Chain A
Amino acid sequence: MDKHFARTEMLPPLAPPVTERGVVKWLRENLFSGPFNTILTLVALVVIYKLVSAALPWWLNSVWTAESLSQCREIVAATAGEGASGACWAMIRERWHQFIFGFYPPDLWWRPVLAFGLLIAALGPVLYSGQKRSLTILLGIVAAYLVVTLSLTGAPTGAFVAAAVVVVALFAAVQVAPGRMLLFTAIYPALCFWLLWGGSIWTPVVAMLGFVVMGVVYMALVGRFGPTASAIAGVVAAVLWWLFLDIPITQALADMIGGGLRSVESDEFGGFLLAITIGVTAISFSLPIGILLALGRQSDMLIVKTLCVGFIEFIRGVPLITLLFTASLLLQYFLPPGTNFDIILRVIILVTLFAAAYLAEVIRGGLAALPRGQYEAADALGLDYWRAQRLIILPQALKISIPAIVSTFIGLFKDTTLVAFVGLMDPLKGVTQIVRADINWKGIYWEPYIFVGAIFFVICFGMSRYSMYLERKLKTDHR
């Protein structure tokens, strides 16, 4: 007679009490978890309400089509009533090109646009080394970008064909041998210089040959004299090439064969074209210099060490503004009269040196964080100094330093706006001042700042997101 009761099915679970679920729970836990947090929440709500109620009408009443600020004001008054405030984006609509290109001739806008597209392609192999899928997607984006922007800027057919050839060649390289794409990255600086400034095609070609000379000399001597001596000989040979052979050969080739683009003067550069030119050049050159300086500072060789420490400490001890004034004013006194050493070039060199000094310290932090065992292990394997650095030390040290390196880059990119103080037209102050000097837009205040700030944010946010991706990708430990 044993009758067992066995439950065959479970009762459906009851919903949690109303205070423990859904929105109420979230609010209770996150916003009203105690008297102090409740007060903070209420205060924050009041502040947000004040901010939004002050700014929202201004955004909602935005005017996009007008001839001048006073016309903007009339339109706002007509649509939203007297005394209402409204943003006057019509200024951006009329002057956006100066914020982007400065005074770069409008019929040549396709050149910076093309250079920017190819910049992304050239960065590909560095940013996503050897990843076929990412690189293919990146090239697809570049191709789409180029088709749209080149047709918008009315590029000549030749530019379309050249861009298509480059992109297709890179595409093929990615599928067959992704490593080969680095070749394009190596020649990109010369290509970019030629696209932006124009002039004879032989100027960048012959200048790049200097690096070939350096490589040939190094290769020829390295077997007999060892890497350091042959590297010095290579550098000397290249410098001799640039000093004495470069100009006559360029001249001769230009006379014989010709070929080139219309040249654009440096003072026609402005806006984000200028900021990105200075920023990207300084970023790409400061990293290798910074690595060398960091290694030099750790070196056992007294002279190398002293020079590196002296350089780093001097540059870090001087504000960037001082260096910019040096670039713009002092150098002119020391150069022979009549030499016109391009102002943008001068600024780029000093910004690069400035960033390199900071990077050197960041990378030194990475080097110092490596356990001593890593250095000893590299020695135990019988690797020479450069191999040990390249294969064992730097990959780990750089990985540790990624967040700080990218921070330095972001800071550097934002610091490019300081060139306004030496009379260059940076987007934030230089172009804004020009726009405000126009009687039609005099008195406009927030709009240019918001526009420029938004573009800066997009670029800097992109950099910081990339650094987080890189950290995840390179994470090999299991912390």
Chain B
Amino acid sequence: MKKSVFLGVVAATTMVAGAASAQATLEAVKARGELICGSNTGLTGFGAPDASGNWTGFDVDLCRALAAAIFGDATKVRFVPTTGETRFTALQSGEVDVLIRNSTWTYSRDTELALDFVAVNYYDGQGFMVKSDLGVSSAKELDGATVCIQTGTTTELNLADFFKQNNISYQPVTVADDSEAQRQYLAGACDAYTTDASGLAASRATMPDAANHIILPEIISKEPLGPVVRHGDNNWGDIVRWTYYALLIAEEKGITKANVEEVATSTADEEVKRLLGLSGDMGVKIGLDNAAFKNAIAAVGNYGEVFAANIGEGTAINLARGLNALWTQGGLQYAPPLR
């Protein structure tokens, strides 16, 4: 009896706190004068502070775009590093306004954790890396192989599923984190290393003998990564979602960081006019300036530019666009019409 009363109080407190903080994330952010963005404790290419403490990365740029859309100033954002364990609670308790931290959109996270994944800014999937002298060209030939795998991740479950479905066996070598995995793999403790394909590419890029390692063609899972907000504040979700879509539309329309001002003065395209705040009062409809999306694009560039600057071909990580190409180029990145 007492326990249930206590739990009831906890639940009520949580809901009151949740509801109060959900009502007006935008107002709270504006009153605070800065956006608090939940980020990674350090993931190559996606989000990490550099030697002088400036955060850079693919996810980080989306945070900056959001800050630019809200304040017209991409520097008004504070990054709070969250670990895999603390990230969702930090968001639920209101410690961060939005979580942009390579988190996979899954059913239980969307429903049970009462979170909203508002978009997918990176389509990832789990892959395998092996040494080329192993003579394997497909993951299905990995029968009996030892596989390095990080514990406590969804990748562990995906791995078990994949091998079971293909009726082959494997020997897991569990490791704590990416650097440990890389060391074990290079030392020959395992034949294959499996994690998200983007992570494999980053690891491979920094190996002393990158040419001797190949990433197998099979992608065995869907890992849609995207920004997350709390349930219950739909306007705030809209702001995050459409700031992201604005970057996509900008790429589709060929608007870049460099030419955004010029396009704004010369364009005849009605959707571009709405995007850049010249007609339609689009920004005001979600509680921002009409120039919000223009500011976001001017701050970080369009989606393609963000991709190319942080993780794309030409950077050390050298990821191909693949699934993350625009829908017009055979990818999955597709923004609904802005009207």
Task: Tell me the A residues contacting B by CB distance below 8 Å.
Answer: 69-70, 73, 94-95, 98, 103, 106, 265, 267-268, 325, 328-329, 332-334, 336-338, 420-423, 425, 430, 433-439, 442-445
Contacts and interface: CB of A to CB of B under 8 A. Distances in A.
Contact of A423 (B51, B81, B177, B316): B81
Given A333-B14, A425-B81, A437 B44 contact: yes
Interface in B45-76: 45, 47-53
16 contacts: A95-B51, A98-B51, A103-B53, A329-B89, A329-B90, A332-B89, A333-B17, A337-B94, A423-B41, A423-B80, A433-B41, A434-B49, A436-B44, A442-B205, A443-B203, A445-B182
B336 interface: no
Given A329-B93, A442-B206, 13 more contacts: A70-B206, A95-B51, A106-B52, A333-B14, A422-B83, A423-B80, A433-B42, A433-B177, A436-B42, A436-B178, A442-B205, A443-B206, A445-B182
A332 B206 contact: no
A434 B60 CA distance: 14
Given A267-B80, A332-B95, A436-B42, A423 B90 contact: yes
A328 B94 CA distance: 12
Q: Per DSSP, are chain A's interface residues mostly helix, strand or loop, or mixed?
A: helix
Contact of A443 (B78, B82, B86, B179): B179
Contacts, number: 103
Q: Per DSSP, are chain B's interface residues mostly helix, strand or loop, or mixed?
A: mixed
A422 B316 CA distance: 30
A3 B186 CA distance: 91
B302 to A, nearest CB: 23
Interface in B237-295: none
Nearest to A97: B51
Contacts of B49: 103, 434
Given A423-B83, A433-B41, A436-B42, A70 B203 contact: no
Contacts of B82: 423
A102 to B, nearest CB: 8
A437 B206 contact: no
Contact of A439 (B51, B86, B93, B316): B316
Contacts of A103: 49, 53
A332 B182 contact: no
Nearest to A74: B208
A439 B53 contact: no
Given A103-B49, A434-B48, A437-B42, A333 B93 contact: yes
B42 to A, nearest CB: 3
A436 B10 CA distance: 40
A172 to B, nearest CB: 41
B41 to A, nearest CB: 5
Nearest to A340: B95
Contacts of A69: 206
B312 to A, nearest CB: 13
Interface size class of B (residues with CB under 8 A): 35 or more
B317 interface: yes
B50 A438 contact: yes
Nearest to B93: A332
A422 B206 contact: no
A332 B94 contact: yes
B95 A439 contact: no
B166 interface: no
Nearest to B21: A337
A94 B51 CA distance: 7
Interface in B19-53: 20-21, 28, 40-45, 47-53
Contact of A325 (B43, B85, B205): B85
Interface string B79-118: 0111101100110011100000000000000000000000
A437 B178 CA distance: 10
Contact of B17 (A94, A265, A337, A436): A337
A333 B15 CA distance: 9
Given A333-B17, A438-B50, A442-B203, A267 B93 contact: no
Contacts of B206: 69-70, 439, 442-443
A103 B80 CA distance: 12
Contacts of B51: 94-95, 98, 438
A120 to B, nearest CB: 28
Nearest to A267: B80
B13 interface: yes
A37 to B, nearest CB: 35
Contacts of B86: 325, 328-329, 421-423
B171 to A, nearest CB: 23
A430 B315 CA distance: 25
Interface string B193-209: 00000000011011110
A439 B17 contact: no
A439 B94 contact: no
Given A70-B206, A434-B41, A442-B44, A267 B78 contact: yes
Contacts of B178: 436
A430 B86 CA distance: 14
A335 to B, nearest CB: 8
B222 interface: no
A181 to B, nearest CB: 37
- Identify which of B85, B202, B317 gathers the most chain A CB atoms within 10 Å of its CB: B85
B208 A70 contact: yes
Given A98-B51, A332-B95, A439 B44 contact: yes
A439 B21 contact: no
Nearest to B315: A439
B183 interface: yes
Given A69-B206, A329-B93, A439-B205, A338 B28 contact: yes
- Identify which of A98, A333, A334, A421 gathers the most chain B CB atoms within 10 Å of its CB: A333
A420 B85 CA distance: 11
B21 to A, nearest CB: 4
- Identify which of A265, A420, A437 gathers the most chain B CB atoms within 10 Å of its CB: A437
B87 to A, nearest CB: 8
